[in-house]
Structure 1
């Protein structure tokens, strides 16, 4: 999914370095008629290494550089001199990145912490020089090992947003508006479905200079778990959030039904999502008076705490932040 500078999926090709050849050199020196074998070992080929970088929020920097090739190891030489190791190549990725084998779709590893390094492809080992093969029965071996071949392959990098609170709701539920009010983020906002085609992150400033991160996940539609719309891409980002804030507008025809559909889509995608903390906020509540709120409370889903908020009128936002903070730190 790509919009603007946000890229959360990329395919790359990587080559590790080949190991250097061992040397089959025989020692030659003035007045030394038969110096014997002194060929050095070949150097190791360079690794291709994936490294976590907390300053990156997207895979955009890899959009125009999709081929990574490590340096080959140097060949061994005389006087048992070992060849130079090939230089490693580093691929920096944001925290929350999953690396898959593009052919088998097997998940190889995940990067979730700063400066974590995982070898994607190992460089080939250098070959042994001929002095390793000297023995009582073979005084002057004239052979050495070749270096181990390089490895290569295609890989998929997928980003799952790391945030404390994930906003869950249908398109046009008011998620982007809420994010723009409680954080300094400036997501695209308009009165039609699917305004948001990319996750937006914002930092919510709480009391005593404390903060937490909120993510505006693009709107879910019914059937998203089966891949309708951009369902799989959207739902993937919710997996990393520790608390889910469901947002349903006050003018919804059936709040209970909308909540059930959202819950079902999460369960279909990954049942573990239902184990996360959940809070329901009824957005656009500035259109309700107390009498209407009391009537609406009778129709609200059970088993989940519910708050009435209005991003535009800035009603209930302090209580919302207080509740989220308690949930995040309970």
Structure 2
């Protein structure tokens, strides 16, 4: 069945941020601190479907205290980036993949599924309108945040009958402005991120709220990030914070690049998926498998696991330098960024920023 096209009403801001002020922001944007001049909104109501699609000035929302999202957390989001290319044009990295995951998240949270083409068009419209906000310095980007939440007013526990989809954008600076630095991680054995049959593979806000106490525990133990273990045995490695994990077994051209298999409790990361392809094309063996905390500790001790890194939209790749748990602590390799970790990071960034050929058709170029 063909989805009817959704037409957008374009209402650009009459007072965008002056050029000089915008350039001052882009000189040091940080992450998630500043927002562009516009946003995209689309409404959904039961019986009518998607409607009232528009691009409009960025502005606060007015919300009823009985909005169902505030009480029952029916909300999902995505994160993807637009990159300035060497010729000055702009391209978005794999928006269709994010759109498909957004649909899967919506299905799990009993929310309406936005058509892939509408998701991509909404992102395109915002980036085109605010293209001057796309920074051009190395590793900088424009971060896009599509999200959807219930707007029905009432306190009955049920799927809402009204929703609002939005896209906002924020310029993002280099994640490691002074060079890539490995992080220290805490193995959380008390808390779990997700259980089989739960919402682990959905990108929903509640998953992140539930993670904050464990992240605080990691900080109390002097660690930068928390690593999640499985809910049943508390021994199988799943994710690091909001990022997927990778393990490098061996070294050189014979190395194997392995990542925990998707079991329904892990978020199927777009960066994770991309790195499986890139690693294979660089000649490494790849595995989607189970990795226990004992295997990780013993592998680092005997040298069979040489590198560990996390991956996600924000940082692309973050090396893991040391690990701590309630019973043990150890160093990954020599504690610094690994050779294969950095090779994979550079290969992906080169595609995203247009410095290497996009042989996979991942970059969605805007006219």
Would you say same fold, with TM above 0.5? no
TM score, norm. by length of structure 2: 0.24
Normalized per residue, which structure has more helix?
2
TM-score (norm 1): 0.26
More strand by share: 2
